[in-house]
Structure formats: C-alpha cells, structure tokens
Amino acid sequence: MTETMRRDFKNRAEMIDYLKEQFSEAYATDPRVSDEFIGGRVEAEKRLQQVKTGSAYKRSRNYLDGAVSKLSPYIRYGVLTLAEVRDFALEQSGNGASKFINELGWRDYWQRLYAEMGDDIWEDQEHYKTGIPKHQYADDLPEDIENGETGVKLIDDIVHELKTTGYLHNRQRMYFAAYVVHWRNIKWQAGARFFLTHLLDGDPASNNLSWQWVASTFSHKPYIFNLSNVRKFTGKQYEAPAHETGMEIFEGSYDDINADLFNEKVR
C-alpha cells in the first residue's frame, strides 16, 4: 500500500520535524530552512501587495538593497502566475511598470526556450567566446567554492547567503557565475547544478540559460565585472582595501581583466 504523506501539523516546527525524517538525506547534507521565504499562496499574495513595480523598481533594481520583488520563488512554482503579477504591476504603475514587466518577460522567454530545448538545456548552446578551449574548463565545483571558503569575501558571502536564505539578488548570481566560469575556469554546468540545489527559485530554464549567458555559450561575449562595479551596487560592505578581502583579483579596468582572463587572440 502506498503511503500518503502527512498534512496535519500544528505549526512549522512540527512540519520540519516530520520532513527531517522523510527527507533525511537532504537534511543530513544541510539542515537549514529559509526563514525569509515561507512557501504558499497566502504568503505570495501578501508579498505581491508590497511589490514596487514603477520608477523605484526601475531606478534601484540593480542595487543589492534595491526594490526588487523577491517573488521569484513563488513564480517559479507557479504559485503566482506571470500574468497576474503583470496585471498587478499595470494596475499599480501603468506604463511606468514597463521595466518590471520586461523582467517578467525574461522568465517567459526562458520557459519557451526550455520547451523547445528539453534536456539540451544542459548543453552549450554555442561555443565559449573566451578563446579558452572547452577542455581547459574543469567539470566539478571545488570544495572551497561549495563551502564558501575561497578567501574572496564577495564570493564567500554569496555562498553563505545562498545557503541560508535560498535566494540571491540577480547581481550576486552574475558575480558568482562569472567568478566560477571565468576566474576559476570551471564549466558553467557545475555552477548551475550548485544553484539548482540551493536556490528556492531554481529552475533549469532561467538558471542554466543565465549561466550560459555569463559563460558566453549563449551570448556574444563573456560577462565579467570589476571591483568598482561591486562597490557601486553592493553598498558599503566591500569598501575595505581589496587585498584584505581577497578581492584584488577584481581590481582594474574591464580591458585589464579581459586581458588577464581570456585569450587575447579572440578579443
């Protein structure tokens, strides 16, 4: 007889106790649950009402403390539909919501591509435009990255936040992906798998194709960043001298970093 799983819990703690037993392997690997994101439609609706979709979003969304919606875990599981989030945005901000709706468009775009690509979503869509031969990229994510012990503060902070909350700002995702693929020469698939494990909104469509965009296997050129960019968008956390935080590897102009990281012939 097939066992039906429990639904009657007095509170969250009791549910978590039950899940610990049922999913003991995942629990043993990392027992944390997200206190920032509670699953379900009730919470999703509450959050939707607080989202800023107009000029505040447009102006600040690239900043870590900007007015981003953090709705992605709810949208990923279809708890909120893209159409209803769009309708809410139009009602709140009219045409002023165009940037917000454009970002919702990315999710729709990735989903449509996924429907066409199927499992090919795990394959390079194009060749790397870095000049580095594919075989020189490692297959697996090294432990220092996985454990957030690289000594590069930005990266270690990102890993810690990901594992604690199950969520990262888009810019943190881009920084992390660029570090993994371009500074450490690791195949994007290894990083994409790591994100799928931990991100509450992890979904092969948005996740893998965004990794490919950073890697340059689904874009014209690799995405990189530098320390000024980090300092601009992350507030005051990374103002200490770069050599004290292991972040001197991000110092310099984009031209300098390109020259350091990639094969000059292809630039």
Partner 1 sequence: MTNTIAWIHADNLNPNQPALEAGHPAIFVWDDELLKQWDISFKRITFIYECLLEMDVTIRRGDVAIEVGKFAAEHNAKHIITPYSPSPRHKWIMRQLKVLIPDSKLEIYMDEPFVDYDGHIDLKRFSRYWRKVEKYAMQATSK
Give min distance, CB of 71 to partner 1, in A: 13
Q: Is the separation of the CB atoms in 68 and 57 below 8 Å?
A: yes
Residue with tokens 């799928």: 196
Residue 229 C-beta-side C-alpha neighbours within 13 Å = 15
Distance CA 267, CA 259 (A): 8
Distance CA 1, CA 193 (A): 34
Q: How far is the CB of 79 from partner 1 (least distance, A)?
A: 5
Residue 193 has which token pair?
A: 């798998």
Shortest reach from residue 148's CB to partner 1, in Å? 14
Closest to 229 measured CA to CA, from 159, 163, 178 = 178
User: Which residues between 74 and 93 bind partner 1 (CB under 8 A)?
Assistant: 77-84, 86-87, 90-91
Q: Is 32 in the site for partner 1 (CB under 8 A)?
A: yes
Taking phi first (over 0 means left), then psi (-120 to 50 degrees means alpha), and beta for anything else, what does residue 165 get? alpha
> Contacting partner 1 (CB under 8 A), which of 11, 13, 21, 31?
31
The 10 Å Cβ neighbour count of residue 57 is 21
Contacting residue, 46, 59, 112, 267, with partner 1 by CB under 8 A: 112
Q: How far apart, in whole angstroms, are the C-alpha atoms of residue 80 and residue 97?
A: 18
Residue 140 contacts partner 1 per CB under 8 A: no
Stretch of 12-20, 56-64, 153-161, 231-239 contacting partner 1, by CB under 8 A: 12-20
Site for partner 1 in 234-253 (CB under 8 A): none
84 or 260, CB closer to partner 1? Answer: 84
In the beta sheet, which residues pair with residue 186?
Answer: 138
Q: Which of 170, 187, 266, 264 is nearest to 225 (CA)?
A: 170
| Interaction of residue 55 with partner 1, rule CB under 8 A | no
- Total residues contacting partner 1 by CB under 8 A comes to 69
User: Per CB under 8 A, does 105 bind partner 1?
Assistant: yes
7 binds partner 1 (CB under 8 A): yes
Q: Identify which of 20, 267, 2, 29 has the alpha carbon closest to the alpha carbon of residue 147.
A: 29
Q: Whose Cβ is closer to partner 1: residue 108's or residue 260's?
A: 108
Helices (H), 199-245: 204-215, 227-233
Please identify which residue in 189, 202, 214, 224 interacts with partner 1, judged by CB under 8 A.
202
Closest CB to partner 1 among residues 28, 243: 28
Residues near partner 1, by CB under 8 A: 2-7, 9, 12, 15-16, 19-20, 22-23, 26-27, 29-34, 37-42, 73, 77-84, 86-87, 90-91, 95, 98, 101-102, 104-106, 108-109, 111-116, 118-119, 163, 166, 193, 196-200, 202, 204-205
